[in-house]
C-alpha cells in the first residue's frame, strides 16, 4: 500500500507538470515525478511478489517465515528498487545529451529517448513479477482446490486458507492494471505511435491498482 501511495503521489503531480513549458524541461518537479512513479511502480510489483511467496511458503510448503526474515526481504526489495531507480541517472553523470528522466507522454518518467533503458530498469522486472505471480498463485490455487476437504478444511490453517482464496484475486488485478499501459509502451518501443487518449486511459487504469488492493484487503 505504501508503494501504491508513492505511485499515486507521482501521478498526481501530472496536473502541475502539464503546465510547465516544454522549453523549461528538465525541472525538479519533473524529475521528482519520474522518480516517484519509478519507485511506486517497482515497489508495487515486488511487494506483490513478496506476498505471493509468503503465501506459497505457508500454505504449500507449510513454512512460516520468521518476522526478521520478512524484514530482511523487504530491506533487500527496497535496495533493489533504489538501484533500479538510480542506475539510469547515475549512468548519465558527466555525459551530455538528453536527461534520463524527462517528459514521457502526459507525465514525466524515463525519457522517450531511452527505450532500451525503460525495458531494463522497469518493464523487464514488471513482466517477470507478473509471470511469477501468476505461476505461484496458480500453484496455490491448485493446492487449495485439492485440499478443500482435507487438512486445510479445519485446524489452524483453515482461516489462512480462506483468506488466501481471496488473495488469489491480487495477481489478476495486478496483471489487469499493468497490461493496458504495458501494451501501449511496448507499441511505442516498436515504433507505433498511438493516440494520446489511449495513453491517458491506460494510465488511469494503471493507477487504479492501489484502490483495488485496498478493496481486496
| β-sheet bridge partners, residue 108 | 103
Look up residue 97 and give its DSSP letter: S
Q: How far is CA 58 from CA 55, 137, 180, 208, in A?
A: 5, 13, 32, 29
- Split at pLDDT 50, 70, 90, the class of 157 is low
Name which residue leads in pLDDT, 184 or 68. 68
Q: Which CATH class is domain 2-216?
A: mainly alpha
Taking 60 as the threshold, does the pLDDT of residue 156 lie above it?
A: no
| β-sheet bridge partners, residue 107 | 104
pLDDT for residue 133: 87
Single pTM value for the model:
0.82
Q: Which three cell numbers stand for residue 152?
A: 486445510
| β-sheet bridge partners, residue 102 | 109
Local structure of 118: helix, strand or coil = helix
Amino acid at each position: 500500500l505504501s508503494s501504491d501511495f508513492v505511485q499515486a503521489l507521482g501521478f498526481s503531480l501530472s496536473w502541475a507538470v502539464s503546465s510547465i513549458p516544454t522549453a523549461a524541461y528538465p525541472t525538479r518537479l519533473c524529475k521528482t515525478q519520474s522518480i516517484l512513479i519509478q519507485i511506486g511502480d517497482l515497489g508495487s510489483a515486488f511487494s506483490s511478489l513478496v506476498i505471493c511467496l509468503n503465501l506459497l511458503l505457508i500454505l504449500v510448503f507449510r513454512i512460516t517465515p520468521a518476522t526478521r526474515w520478512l524484514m530482511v526481504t523487504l530491506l533487500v526489495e527496497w535496495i533493489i528498487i533504489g538501484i533500479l531507480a538510480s542506475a539510469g541517472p547515475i549512468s548519465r553523470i558527466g555525459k551530455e545529451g538528453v536527461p534520463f528522466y524527462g517528459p514521457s507522454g502526459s507525465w514525466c518518467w524515463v525519457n522517450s529517448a531511452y527505450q532500451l533503458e525503460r525495458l531494463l530498469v522497469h518493464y523487464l522486472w514488471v513482466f517477470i513479477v507478473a509471470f511469477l505471480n501468476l505461476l505461484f498463485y496458480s500453484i496455490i490455487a491448485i493446492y487449495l482446490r485439492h485440499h478443500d476437504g482435507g487438512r486445510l478444511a479445519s485446524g489452524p490453517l483453515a482461516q489462512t486458507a480462506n483468506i488466501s482464496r481471496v488473495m488469489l484475486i491480487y495477481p489478476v488485478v495486478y496483471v489487469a492494471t499493468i497490461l493496458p499501459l504495458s501494451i501501449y509502451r511496448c507499441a511505442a518501443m516498436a515504433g507505433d505511435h498511438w493516440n494520446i487518449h489511449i495513453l491517458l486511459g491506460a494510465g488511469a487504469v494503471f493507477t487504479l491498482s492501489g484502490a483495488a488492493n485496498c478493496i481486496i484487503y
